[in-house]
C-alpha cells in the first residue's frame, strides 16, 4: 500500500514539474511568424532540415533539426537529389528555436523553391523531431578572412560543421565529416566569402567529407540594408 501511495505521489509531482516548465516558457513573439524556407539534407537513413538564413527578421536564425520520416521515397529524394528545399506554411520559428516537436505542412521541391525548383510534394507533413542547433543572427562578428564553425554531434565520429554567419558579406555552409583526426573550427581563407572547394581543403585531413549545403545569395553585401 505504501509503495502505491509513493508511486501516485511521484506521478503527481512529475506532472506538476512538467506543467511548471510549460508555464515558464516565454510567450511566442508574433514577429517570428513567416514562411521559413529550409533545405533538407540526408546522411544514411537520417534527414535533417536547415533553415535558410537571412539577415532580416523573422528569418535571422541558423537552425538545424532532425526530421522524423520512415518514407523510403522521401528519403531517397533527399539523399539522391542535388538539392531539396521546402516552403512551409506560415508558422512561428521560435517554436523550433526552443526545441519543440512540431509537424509542419510544406511544399517540397527538388532544387531551390525560389530559384526554379521542381515541386515534388504538395502540402506534405514534415515532422520536426529534435533540435540540434539554433543561433539567432544577433551581435554578429564583422566580415573577415577568418571563418569560424560550430560543431553538431550526430554520431560516434560523425559531425556536422556549420559556418557561423557574420555580418555581410557572408555565407551558409554545412559539411558532414566522419572524423579520423582533429579538425580546426577557425581558419583563414583567401577571401571573406571563399569558394566551397577552398573550405573543403581546410577539412581535408579531418576525415571523410560529405558536402551538405553552401549558399551565398541571401547573405551578400547588397543585403546589408536588411541587417
Residue 135 burial (10 A CB sphere; 0-12, 13-18, 19+)? middle
How many residues are there in the chain? 227
Phi, psi dihedrals of residue 186, rounded to the nearest 5°: -145, 130
Spatial separation of the C-alpha atoms in residues 72 and 224, rounded to whole Å: 41
Q: What angle do CA 107, 85, 183 make, to 5 degrees?
A: 150
Report pLDDT for 8.
52
Per-10-residue mean pLDDT, the chain, length 227: 51 51 76 97 96 96 97 97 98 97 98 97 98 97 97 95 98 96 94 97 94 96 48
C-alpha cell at 18: 512538467
Task: Specify the pTM.
Answer: 0.86
Place of cell 538545424: 64
Report pLDDT for 26.
83
Place of cell 528519403: 75
Phi, psi dihedrals of residue 137, rounded to the nearest 5°: -85, 80
Domain boundaries, the chain: 31-138, 139-227
Amino acid at each position: 500500500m505504501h509503495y502505491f501511495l509513493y508511486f501516485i505521489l511521484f506521478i503527481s509531482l512529475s506532472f506538476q514539474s512538467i506543467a511548471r516548465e510549460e508555464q515558464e516558457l516565454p510567450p511566442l513573439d508574433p514577429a517570428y511568424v513567416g514562411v521559413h524556407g529550409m533545405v533538407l539534407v540526408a546522411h544514411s537513413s537520417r534527414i535533417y532540415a536547415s533553415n535558410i538564413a537571412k539577415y532580416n527578421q523573422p528569418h535571422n536564425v541558423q537552425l538545424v533539426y532532425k526530421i522524423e520520416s520512415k518514407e523510403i521515397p522521401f528519403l531517397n529524394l533527399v539523399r539522391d537529389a542535388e538539392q531539396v528545399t521546402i516552403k512551409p506554411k506560415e508558422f512561428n520559428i521560435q517554436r523550433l528555436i526552443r526545441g519543440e516537436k512540431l509537424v509542419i505542412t510544406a511544399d517540397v521541391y527538388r532544387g531551390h523553391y525560389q530559384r526554379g525548383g521542381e515541386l515534388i510534394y504538395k502540402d506534405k507533413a514534415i515532422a520536426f523531431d529534435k533540435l540540434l542547433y539554433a543561433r539567432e543572427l544577433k551581435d554578429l562578428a564583422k566580415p573577415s578572412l577568418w571563418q569560424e564553425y560550430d560543431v553538431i554531434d550526430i554520431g560516434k565520429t560523425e559531425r556536422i560543421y556549420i559556418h557561423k554567419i557574420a555580418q555581410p558579406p557572408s555565407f551558409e555552409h554545412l559539411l558532414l565529416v566522419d572524423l579520423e583526426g582533429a579538425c580546426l573550427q577557425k581558419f583563414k581563407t583567401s577571401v571573406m566569402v571563399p569558394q566551397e572547394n577552398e573550405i573543403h581543403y581546410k577539412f581535408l585531413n579531418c576525415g571523410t567529407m560529405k558536402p551538405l549545403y553552401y549558399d551565398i545569395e541571401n547573405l551578400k553585401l547588397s543585403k546589408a540594408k536588411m541587417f
